[in-house]
Structure 1
């Protein structure tokens, strides 16, 4: 009986030791796997990154296939895309958008431009064109002037809805800019009465009205106030000429 009990005890100890070894082995494996899984995760991340980089930088699927132009009216889409010189076939990710933007911005008709990528294969060019507030004859050609005095488009003849700017031979670019500011500040009621604007220098600007009367305007400073004063003068006094160059002390004669 004692011998049998001893054998049972030995067997129980053996089973206990076996379970202990198994638990130890599981803990060892868990520790090893805990360290290994970070390595595996890192390798997977690197592989995915390399795959993604290859896909973006070398795959034909992500190369430029289309150039879309938006906002062009004076210009044609073809004129904008020709100026942009987007490298069709180059990877979309490597296209130098700043250079494309700079080339389009150099067009006189363009006030501002935005260039963006549209995945997977398109470059979009969105332009805002200049708006003419007047026209001026330069080298025998009628050109539109925007509110900053930038000449940017040609007209075969001056449009009836835009004031004309007559610049003297010694008028410089800054004088044209002043004249454009004067025109841009005019309310519609006054603009309808103006036949053309005459400019000699930045502070020697005058208006020739459709009625044949003339207005000494001066510079573009306080143009809104000058316009308000002039409209009141025109309503109150019938004269051949007016002077609102100093709006606080206008005259009619």
Structure 2
């Protein structure tokens, strides 16, 4: 501006540059403070506030069990922030139910825990302590029956039958093709190496252990079709024998 002191103009330009430099430094600081506030507020909202707390548990995949039984076993604390629920502990509690083969637990935002259950499926019936119980393919006894389902073979045990022998018997039953399984009246399991099939027509198949069960099933099918006998032994499937 005409008449203005050049020194005054210089001071003003210097002051503007100083202010611009200060604002540049403060702008970054303000941005960092705002970011920290947003992140901190988000963490508080997710992990500590009641806005995203557990309001319920959804259960899928049940048939033998009820959803209420699974919820009770899961024991998910109502009102706890959903992000802080220990999913592994919930899963472990659900899988402790005898009828549950596996479970998957996840968060369903904004306020639900989802429990997806895979139930055990009975492949045979075993009588233990006077009770008829269903046993799955892993040899786990998990449910009671008032009467044995006609489509499931029975597993009969002896004084020396332990849990490992029951598991072997379950593996044998699971490996049987449908046509052979239909001919089985019951399975006798004494030890892991002494498993036999008792057919509806009174004939016996000495099976041995569950090892090579698929091969044994094929050998038995061929023997039953080719030879009339009372006793078939496929415990060594490469050298089967018959008698009677």
Same fold (TM over 0.5): yes
Aligned to 1:31: 21
The equivalent of 1:235 in structure 2 is 225
Residue 247 of structure 1 corresponds to 237
1:113 aligns with 2:89: no
Structure 1 counterpart of 2:74? 84
Aligned: 1:122 with 2:115? no
TM value normalised by structure 2: 0.94
Partner residue in 2 for 1:216: 206
Pick one of 200, 205, 223 that aligns with 2:195.
205
CA-based RMSD of the aligned residues comes to 1.8
Residues in 2 aligned to 1:228 and 1:57: alpha-carbon distance in whole angstroms: 59
* Moved beyond 6 Å, runs of 4+: none
How far did residue 54 of structure 1 move? 2.5
The whole-number CA distance in structure 2 between the counterparts of 1:226 and 1:21 is 102
Whole-angstrom distance in 1 between the partners of 2:184 and 2:16: 96
Q: CA deviation at 1:208?
A: 0.3
Specify every segment of 5 or more residues in structure 1 that has no aligned partner in the other structure, as ranges: 1-7
Partner SS state of residue 231, structure 1: helix
Stretches of structure 2 lacking an aligned partner (at least 5 in a row) = none
Name the larger-Rg structure.
1
Q: Give the match's secondary structure for 2:51.
A: helix
Q: Distance in 2 between matches of 1:175 and 1:120?
A: 48
**1:29 Cα deviation from its structure 2 partner:** 2.1
Alignment partner of 1:165 is 2:166 = no
In 2, the alpha carbon distance for the partners of 1:146 and 1:19 equals: 93
Report which stretch shifted further, 47-56 or 123-132: 47-56
Q: Which moved more, 1:45-54 or 1:151-160?
A: 45-54
Q: CA deviation at 1:199?
A: 0.6
Q: Please report the TM-score for the alignment, with normalisation by the length of structure 1.
A: 0.90
Q: Which has the higher helix share?
A: 1
